[in-house]
Amino acid sequence: MIKTVTLNPSLDYIVDVENFEASIINRSHNEKFLPGGKGINVSQVLSNLGMENMALGIVGGFTGEHLAFLLKQKNIDEDLIFQDDILTRINVKIRSGSETAINAQGPSICEETKNKLLNQIKNLNDGDYLVLAGKIPPSMPSDFYLEIMKQVSDKDVEVVVDAEKEQLKKSLSYRPFLIKPNEEELGSVFDVKINSRDDVIHYAMKLQKLGARNVLVSLGEKGAILITEGNKVYCGNSPKGELVNSVGAGDSMVAGFLYGYIKKNSFEEALKYGLACGAASAFSEELATKDEVVKLIKNITINALEE
């Protein structure tokens, strides 16, 4: 079983406006709510691919109830924790030629809720996968991912971490199965600018030395590079298409990687499915579907690089 954790989920309110202007009343011509949060995105793509998983997270209020309703509509299994005195945040995305996003800070999480979540994590079994994705909300300790990973440190649970700089670095002491920085995040960990494929490989291997077992670096339209714990380096291209929505593409890559790895027991196939899922989400209004992935995967080539 794969379980995803989203500590600060959201309702994403997407608003389409023609010729948006500041300081005046603008009229929308289309709007919709979508479930938001990196772990929830991973769960949605896994569910679209037909892979069993469970979305964990913390929600509250009428916004939390609507988020749970949307997950049910999309056939995503969840075991969300409701905290009575909070409201799940709403993130606003205004689309008018380009996209402007206003991401809310999120609610204050109490100790009782934190402990409920940690108890959920304790119940994972050997052979399970645990995906920790996204930022830790301000009301929680910055090392809370370490607390989560500690709960399964004595079990054979494969942990995936998709987080930013400090949270990513802190997680390495528990030797996660997979981390997935993008090119910019990889550079930020070492306070350098990534200028080439060699740079990507060099700094990804440094992350391995710090504790990561497998490192998947997403490079946007340039594809992705995977460095495995067996010291293999794989490079894959991103299929061609029109960028419609960049939100969730990285999360979709994580979902596709896990799907390919579990189904095919192959790092090459994992990378291929990761690239196909990331592209399928980038080329769509919403997140990748299985039909879209099947169409795109034929256009992806994985090469093993000599090191």
φ/ψ of 160, rounded to 5, equals -115, 130
Q: How far is CA 279 from CA 55, 102, 258, in A?
A: 23, 24, 16
Active site includes 126?
no
Catalytic residue among 84, 128, 251, 291: 251
CA-wise closest residue to 86 among 140, 155, 150? 140
Angle, to 10 degrees, between the axis of helix 111-122 and the axis of helix 144-151?
A: 40
DSSP state of 78: B
Burial class (CB in 10 A: 0-12, 13-18, 19+), 272: buried
Within 13 A of 238's CA, how many CA atoms are on the CB side?
23
Reduced to 3 states, what is the DSSP secondary structure of residue 6? Answer: strand
DSSP sequence for 50-69: T--EEEEEEE-HHHHHHHHH
Residue 50: how many CB atoms within 10 A of its CB? 10
CA-wise closest residue to 85 among 104, 112, 103, 105? 112
Given a contact cutoff of 8 angstroms between Cβ atoms, the answer to whether 270 and 235 are in contact is no
Q: Which residues pair with 211 in a beta bridge?
A: none
DSSP sequence for 28-44: EEEEEEEEE-HHHHHHH
Residue-wise burial string across 235-256, b where 16 or more C-beta atoms lie within 10 A, e elsewhere: bbbbbeeeeebebbbbbbbbbb
Q: Which residues are catalytic?
A: 251
